[in-house]
Each structure stands twice: as C-alpha cells, then as structure tokens.
C-alpha cells in the first residue's frame, strides 16, 4: 500500500496503461515538461518520451481534433482539456463528431478516446474556471461520463476508460487534487457503470458525486450522532449509470437526498429523481430532496463560493429538517 494524492494517482493511472499498451498516447497543454498545470502528469514525459506524451498549442479544438483522428486510426489517445469550462470552446468536436461517429459509421470506426479535465469549484477560480459540467456531458448520446472521488478510483476508472471502445469524459474534481489516501500496489482496473456503497444506514440514502462524496460521508457521521443513520452512495459513473445499486439502496431506506456540485437546473440529480419516481415511487417514505449549487455563475469570493457549493453544514441541516418535518 502507498499513500497517494489524487493528482499523483492521475499520473500513476495513465502510466499504468501506457506501460501496458504502446498504442496509448497522451496530449494536452503543459502536460509534458511542466507536469500539468495541476501537477497531475509529473514524470510521464520522462518515462514515455515526447512521441507518446505531447505538449500542444493552446487550442482545445486542435487537441480534440488530433485526438479524434488518432483514435480513428488505431491509437488510444488521452486528451487533456485543462479546465472543464473550456469544453465550451471545443464542444462541437465533442458532441457532433466524437460522440456520433461510431454510430454514423455503423461501428466501422471505434473511438477509444479519453478526455480528462479538471472540473468544479472550491479553489476560488471564478465563474469561467470553476464550473461543474457533468450535466453538459451526460446528456450527449455516445459519450460515457466518469467522475472519481478517491485516488484508487482515479487509477481503476482511468484504466477502465482507456480500455473502453467508446469516448469517455473523465472529470476530475479540482477540489480533490490534494487529498490523500492509501492505494494498493500493483495494477488496478475498475469497471465503468458501477456505483459504490461507502456507508450503510437505515434512515436515508445520500447519493453524491466527485467532490461532494467526502462531504456526504462527513455529513453522515454528524447525522448519525443526531439519530439519523444514512447510507452513502458514490455514483462514480453517470453514463452508464448503475441504477440497480442506486435503486436498491434508495428503496432500502425510503428517503433520497442527492448532493450535487452542478447548478440545480438539469443536474444529474434531476435525472436520478425521475428514474426513482418511475421505478420505486411506492418505496419512498418522503419527498426526494436535491442539495445543489444554485443556478448561478460561481463566485470567486471565498465566502460566496462556500455559500453556493453544498457544504457539510447545509447537507446536515437539510437532511435534518426534511427527516423531522
């Protein structure tokens, strides 16, 4: 076992797959000599060289255009878009080209392409560098969407994403880059479309994603001291979505609280609420409650950003109020 930060796990996960498969290549801005703007790719250039690890110009369209072409011709590219907000610059390539080309060629072309990006707020970067864009990505047919919350999941889900024949959007919560946990030695390979039950309880189910997962766990501990025993489920994969695990855990407690960093309108919790209402409505003992960021551009000021993004305190108070009303 080794202690790894989230950012160190990114480099380990990519290196694991590059050692295993020479067709895996990596391209993006400042990923080589600089080791990534968030220091998530340190050491990759030195180990794999400038042919397989390529620094690119500051052009998201060029990065994804090159990655798409590489995937079409037999390589397995990993492309970095530095901030998830910058998907807005190259969204046409993602939505109209990468996501649809396998379908439009009737499977004659596969797209084993991973697009990884720093996602979300918490670091005071302001409205144009702090957006949680998982709701953008999950609504596009043809894309898979993965959001790990721990260093071990980063490595395992990165391996699963690189080995998958479809394009995967791999969103890394920037607020988690410095977090550290123990990670097993050796190869780690996970599977897409699997949620994890991190804590079992009998009164309510908290469903969280990315940077909201450790907050949900801390809130569950505080709620336990107040007599409310919560299950916590880490979604991990939005597309494919592990509905079996989610519905089972929600049905067992009869209460659902989603904890989402994305703005409220059209967030992933709305889709989950719809599925729950259709599939297990009569198992619910109360209304579904979504705890989200408001539908606003995220402020840069620390006090305002902290107020906007769901906090442990807001989770605890919302669950308490709903359960005792």
Of 112, 57, 117, the C-alpha closest to 81 is 117
**Residue 9 CA from chain centroid, whole number:** 14
| 55 DSSP β-pair partners | 28
Alpha helices in 188-232 (DSSP H): 212-224
Residue with tokens 């599925």: 275
Q: Are 20 and 76 in contact (CB under 8 A)?
A: no
Q: What is the rounded distance in angstroms from the CA atom of residue 302 to the CA atom of residue 203?
A: 34
Nearest to 7 by CA among 37, 30, 33: 37
One of 7, 116, 129, 236 is an active-site residue; which one? 129
Helix spans in 85-193 (H) = 91-92, 101-104, 134-138, 151-163
3-state SS assignment for residue 282: helix
Q: What is the spatial distance between Cα 44 and Cα 12, in angstroms, rounded to a whole number?
A: 9
Instruction: Answer yes or no: 129 catalytic.
Output: yes
Active site positions, annotated: 129
């Amino acid at each position: 076992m080794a202690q790894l930060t989230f950012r160190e796990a990114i480099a380990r996960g990519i290196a694991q797959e590059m050692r295993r498969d020479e067709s895996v290549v990596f391209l993006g801005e400042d990923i080589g000599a600089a080791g990534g703007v968030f220091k998530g790719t340190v050491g990759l250039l030195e180990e794999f060289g400038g042919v397989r690890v390529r620094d690119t110009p500051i052009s998201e369209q060029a990065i994804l255009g090159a990655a798409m072409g590489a995937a079409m011709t037999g390589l397995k590219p990993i492309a970095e878009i530095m901030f998830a907000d910058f998907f807005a610059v190259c969204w046409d390539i993602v939505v109209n080209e990468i996501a649809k080309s396998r379908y439009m060629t009737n499977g004659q072309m596969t797209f084993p392409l991973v697009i990884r990006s720093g996602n979300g707020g918490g670091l005071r970067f302001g409205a144009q560098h702090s957006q949680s864009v998982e709701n953008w990505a999950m609504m596009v047919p043809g894309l898979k969407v993965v959001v790990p919350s721990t260093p071990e999941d980063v490595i395992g889900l990165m391996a699963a994403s690189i080995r998958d024949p479809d394009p995967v959007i791999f969103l890394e919560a920037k607020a988690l880059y410095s977090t550290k946990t123990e990670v097993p030695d050796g190869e780690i390979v996970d599977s897409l479309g699997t949620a994890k039950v991190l804590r079992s309880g009998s009164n309510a189910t908290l469903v969280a994603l990315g940077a909201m997962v450790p907050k949900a766990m801390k809130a569950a501990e505080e709620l336990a001291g107040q007599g409310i025993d919560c299950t916590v489920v880490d979604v991990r994969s939005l597309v494919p979505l592990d509905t079996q695990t989610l519905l089972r855990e929600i049905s067992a407690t009869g209460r659902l609280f989603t904890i989402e960093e994305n703005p409220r309108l059209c967030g992933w919790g709305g889709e989950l609420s719809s599925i729950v209402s259709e599939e297990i409505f009569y198992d619910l003992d109360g209304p579904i409650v979504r705890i989200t960021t408001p539908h606003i551009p995220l402020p840069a000021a620390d006090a305002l950003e902290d107020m906007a993004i769901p906090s442990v305190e807001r989770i605890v108070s919302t669950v308490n109020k709903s359960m005792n009303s």
